[in-house]
Amino acid sequence: AQSVTQPDIHITVSEGASLELRCNYSYGATPYLFWYVQSPGQGLQLLLKYFSGDTLVQGIKGIEAEFKRSQSSFNLRKPSVHWSDAAEYFCAVATPGGGNKLTFGTGTQLKVEL
Amino acid sequence: EAGVTQFPSHSVIEKGQTVTLRCDPISGHDNLYWYRRVMGKEIKFLLHFVKESKQDESGMPNNRFLAERTGGTYSTLKVQPAELEDSGVYFCASSQDYRGEQYFGPGTRLTVT
C-alpha cells in the first residue's frame, strides 16, 4: 500500500525567508502527487499537482514543487514566505487508475514569525 | 460558483447516539469523496461515489458507517451508533472527473463524548 511521510510536524520561519516542506512517498511506480493547504476554518485548497512530464511544477501563491524519482520525494518550496502563508500543508498521492482517492501525509503546520 | 458545503460545521453527541453529516458537492461534479481526520493523524479516505454509485468504499471503518448519495447530488454519512473513536473532522470533496482536482469542503468536526 502506498504511504506518504511528512517528517516535519511543525516548522517556523521568519517572514521573507525561504521555505521548503518535505514529502516522501512509498509506491511501486510513480503516483500522482499533490500539495494541499488548509487555513483555519477553510477546506483544503490545491496548491499544485504532478501527473507526468516536467519534474518542476509551478503552483499558486508563488509555490513550486520538485518531483525526484530517485528519492521518492516531492518537496514544496517557496522563495519568500508571507505571514498569510501560515497554515497546515498536506502532501498527498493518488494511484493512477485508482479512482483518484488521495493518501495524505500527516501534515506540516507552518508558523510565520513577523 | 458555490463550493463544496458541509453541514453541520460542528456536532457534539454522546456515545451511542446517531449523527448524520451532509455534503453538497459542486454542481455537476459526478465524483464525491469522504475523508476523515482523527486528531493527530493523517487525513484518511473513506469512500468514493460516482454519481449515486459507490465506486470504492474500502476506507469505511466498519458497518456503523453508512454513506448514501441521493440521485447523484448531495451525500450523507451516518454514524450509528457513534463511538468515542469516531471523533474527528470529516471532509467531503468533489471533482468533475476522476483525474480532476478535488475541491474540499470545510469539514464537519464531530465530537463524541
Q: Which residues of A touch B107 (CB under 8 A)?
A: 43
Q: Is the CB of A101 less than 8 angstroms away from the CB of B41?
A: no
Of residues B100 and A110, more confidence is placed in: A110
A57 touches chain B (CB under 8 A): no
Residues near A28 by beta carbon (within 8 Å), at least 6 away in sequence: none
The pLDDT of residue A31 is 87
Q: What are the angstrom distances between the C-alpha of B74 and each of B50, B92, B101?
A: 12, 10, 18
Q: What pLDDT, in 10s, does the model give residues A6-39? A: 999 999 999 999 999 999 999 877 889 999 999 9
Pick A41's closest partner by Cβ from B56, B101, B106: B106
- To the nearest whole Å, the CA of A17 is away from the closest chain B CA by 27
**C-alpha cell at position B20:** 448524520
Band (pLDDT 50/70/90 cuts) for residue A89 is very high
The pLDDT of residue A63 is 95
Rg (CA), chain B: 13
The pLDDT of residue A91 is 97
Q: Which residues of A touch B33 (CB under 8 A)?
A: 101-102
- pLDDT above 90 for A56: yes
C-alpha–C-alpha distance, residues B24 and B7, integer Å: 9
Under a CB-based contact definition with an 8 Å cutoff, are residues B33 and B45 in contact? yes
| DSSP H helices in chain A | none
**C-alpha cell at position B103:** 475541491
Q: What pLDDT, in 10s, does the model give residues A60-82? A: 889 999 999 999 999 999 999 99
The pLDDT of residue A36 is 96
* 3-class secondary structure, B84: helix
Under a CB-based contact definition with an 8 Å cutoff, are residues B109 and B91 in contact? no
Percentages (nearest 5) of helix, strand, coil residues in chain A: 5, 50, 45
The pLDDT of residue B103 is 92
Residue listed under C-alpha cell 497554515: A87
The pLDDT of residue B24 is 97
Q: What is the pLDDT along chain B (113 residues), one digit of tens a residue?
A: 689 999 999 999 999 999 999 999 999 999 999 999 998 899 999 999 999 999 999 999 999 999 999 888 999 999 999 999 999 999 999 998 877 789 999 999 999 99
C-alpha–C-alpha distance, residues B26 and B4, integer Å: 5
C-alpha–C-alpha distance, residues B41 and A82, integer Å: 27
The pLDDT of residue A52 is 86
Pick B56's closest partner by Cβ from A32, A45, A99: A99
Average pLDDT over all residues of chain A: 92
Q: Tell me the mean pLDDT in the region A95-108.
A: 87
